[in-house]
């Protein structure tokens, strides 16, 4: 069986409960994770250790919190109490090196799905998105990843066509894969709004979810993503959000990908359930 789950964010106990509920067997099954493995939840170290232990059964795409952890390891970003245990662990280098060698985008044409943490930019078709994902993966996997990552936290552009330098293009690519939620009708991205789509909201005037952009390039595969807990579970047959806000006392969601039914299995989360 092949299952996909949304943002875990260090909620270790709910993760194990959900895997037990779907009878997940690492020797037999495959698990896709839509990014944000760590941060905010009280079991970030345990989550990372467990996922590393079953790494041969996983497909992982990186989220913004995973990038922030790598940056904190390098001293480029501040740490916080939920990721401190990872940074102070004797296994820190092994775990973070494993994390940084994960993908920004995964494509499985046989199953008919692709997956990225925040989705796929309206400006990219599948081939373009795949090419750009590989481009920034190569940078993060390289020996010079620290210098490259330090440049990614500078202010970037919201429009790929407006990027005038290679590093600005890469800032846009990274942001689209790990931070995107809303865009304007001309496909420019907007990174400040985090709430659920609300046509009555003055702050969302002229904005649309990235997947509702009228000029979005056509992608034949179904796009799985996370990152948007206020949107919650959303499935229109073309895109599917699996971030159901476990770390915010919401749900942790798994969806089966190999049966054709897109069976959903969910558990209710509580902050009291996140510690080991």
Tens digits of residue pLDDT in 47-70: 999 999 999 999 999 999 999 999
Kindly report the number of other CB atoms within 10 A of residue 198's CB atom.
Answer: 11
156-165 contacts at long range (C-beta below 8 A, 24 or more positions apart): 158/188, 158/189, 158/190, 158/191, 159/123, 159/186, 159/187, 159/188, 159/189, 160/121, 160/123, 160/124, 161/123
Tokens of 178: 């790990």
Cα-only R_g, the chain: 18
H/E segment holding residue 252: strand 251-256
User: How is residue 215 written in tokens?
Assistant: 């000029």
Superfamily name and number for 2-273: Metallo-dependent phosphatases (3.60.21.10)
Q: Hey, how many other C-beta atoms are within 10 angstroms of the C-beta on 11?
A: 29
d(C-alpha 125, C-alpha 120), whole Å: 8
Interatomic CA distance for residues 142 and 101, integer angstroms: 9
pTM for this entry: 0.95
pLDDT tens, residue by residue, 149-203: 999 988 778 888 777 789 999 999 999 999 999 999 899 999 999 999 998 888 8
């Amino acid at each position: 069986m092949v299952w996909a789950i949304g943002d875990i964010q260090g909620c270790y106990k709910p993760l194990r409960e959900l895997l037990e509920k779907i009878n997940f067997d690492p020797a037999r099954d495959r698990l896709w994770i839509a990014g944000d493995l760590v941060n905010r939840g009280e079991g970030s170290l345990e989550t990372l250790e467990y996922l590393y232990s079953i790494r041969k059964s996983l497909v992982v795409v990186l989220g913004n919190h995973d990038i922030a952890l790598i940056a904190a390891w390098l001293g480029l970003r501040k740490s916080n109490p939920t990721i401190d245990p990872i940074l102070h662990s004797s296994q820190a280098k092994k775990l973070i090196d494993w994390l940084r060698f994960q993908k920004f985008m995964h494509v499985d044409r046989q199953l008919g799905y692709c997956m990225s943490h925040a989705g796929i930019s309206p400006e990219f078709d599948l081939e373009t998105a795949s090419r750009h994902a590989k481009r920034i993966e190569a940078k993060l996997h390289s020996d010079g990843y620290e210098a490259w990552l330090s440049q990614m936290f500078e202010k970037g552009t919201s429009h790929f066509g407006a990027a005038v330098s290679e590093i600005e293009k890469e800032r846009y690519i990274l942001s689209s894969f790990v931070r995107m939620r809303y865009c304007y009708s001309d496909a420019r991205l907007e990174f400040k709004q985090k709430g659920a789509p609300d046509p009555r909201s003055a702050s969302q005037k002229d904005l649309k979810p990235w997947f509702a952009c009228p000029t979005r390039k056509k992608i034949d595969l179904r796009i799985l993503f996370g990152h948007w807990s206020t949107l919650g579970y959303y499935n229109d047959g073309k895109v599917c959000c699996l971030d159901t806000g476990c770390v915010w006392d919401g749900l942790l969601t798994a969806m089966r990908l190999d049966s054709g039914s897109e069976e959903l299995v969910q558990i209710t989360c509580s902050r009291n359930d996140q510690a080991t």
